[in-house]
Each structure stands twice: as C-alpha cells, then as structure tokens.
C-alpha cells in the first residue's frame, strides 16, 4: 500500500510541476501608468495558466539580460523597510521595476515586472526565484 501511495505522490508531484511550468506565448498589449499618462505597448510575452507568471518571449528560453546574472542574493540584502524585495533586486540587476497590466483575450491582469535595457522582462516573483540564495 505504501508503495502505491508513494508512486501516486511522485506521479502527482511531477505532473503538477510540469503543468505549473507550462506557459502560453502571445503578442499582446501591456499598459502602465507613467507620470499620470497611460503608456501602451504591444510585445511578445508568455504567461502561465493562472496569470501569475509573466516573462518576455525572449526570456522563455533563458537568453535575456534578466536571466543571465550569475550572482545569488541573500534575502537580508534585499529586505527594505520601504518597497518590495523584488523591486530592490530589479534595481540591483540594473532593471526598471514597473507595475503593469497585460492582456489575455482582452481581459487585463495586473502584475509587476522588471524591464531590462534589451527589452526583456520577467515578473519580480520569478526574478526572486532565480536569484535568491537558498
């Protein structure tokens, strides 16, 4: 019985992990408010099923500035009394943190992202997952 449960758990775990990493990529609209004005752009981006992960299509396969830094950071290096750790990490990596809306089937979803000089971007939670020391 234990062997059956163990096999079930392993299958369930890896099936869900694979499902969690599946992304859909589209050419879509991203908007943000900058100095009181709505700025709109159309770019290629990828997102997960529940719209909690967002990255530029160039970062879908780690070939972008966002994912090419080798250094790992301790949480204490990123913790601040003001602001989010993901925004601080973004600035450390020479990116620009932004709060944006991206659209899927004309429906807006809010997230934040870190935008890099090469136009690549990832949401700050994904950035933290890549660079936080464990």
| 66-114 confidence digits (pLDDT tens) | 777 777 878 777 777 667 888 989 998 999 999 999 999 999 999 999 9
The residues spanned by each domain of the chain are: 24-131
| 15-65 confidence digits (pLDDT tens) | 333 344 689 999 999 999 988 999 999 999 999 999 999 999 998 876 787
Confidence at residue 14, expressed as pLDDT on a 0 to 100 scale: 31
C-alpha pair distances (Å), 84 with each of 75, 91, 99: 11, 11, 12
Confidence at residue 21, expressed as pLDDT on a 0 to 100 scale: 61
Strand, coil or helix: what is 121? Answer: strand
Confidence at residue 16, expressed as pLDDT on a 0 to 100 scale: 35
What single DSSP character describes residue 80?
Answer: -
**Which tokens in the block code for residue 98?**
């932004």
C-alpha pair distances (Å), 121 with each of 12, 32, 66: 31, 14, 6
C-alpha pair distances (Å), 51 with each of 34, 101, 106: 23, 11, 13
pTM above 0.85, yes or no: no
C-alpha pair distances (Å), 32 with each of 51, 73, 103, 111, 134: 17, 28, 12, 10, 33
Phi, psi of 11 (to 5 degrees): -65, -45
Residue with tokens 């780690």: 62
Confidence at residue 129, expressed as pLDDT on a 0 to 100 scale: 87
């Amino acid at each position: 019985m234990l062997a059956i449960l163990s096999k079930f758990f392993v299958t369930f775990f890896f099936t869900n992990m694979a499902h969690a990493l599946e992304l859909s990529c589209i050419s879509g609209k991203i908007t943000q408010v900058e100095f009181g004005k709505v700025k709109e752009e159309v770019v290629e981006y990828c997102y997960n099923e529940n719209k909690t992960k967002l990255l530029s299509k160039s970062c879908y396969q780690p070939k972008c500035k966002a994912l090419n830094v080798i250094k790992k950071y301790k949480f204490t290096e990123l913790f601040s009394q003001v602001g989010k750790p993901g925004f601080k990490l973004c600035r450390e990596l020479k990116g620009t943190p932004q709060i944006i809306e991206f659209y899927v089937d004309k429906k807006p979803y809010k997230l934040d992202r870190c935008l890099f000089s090469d136009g690549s971007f990832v949401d700050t939670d994904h950035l933290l997952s890549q660079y936080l020391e464990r």
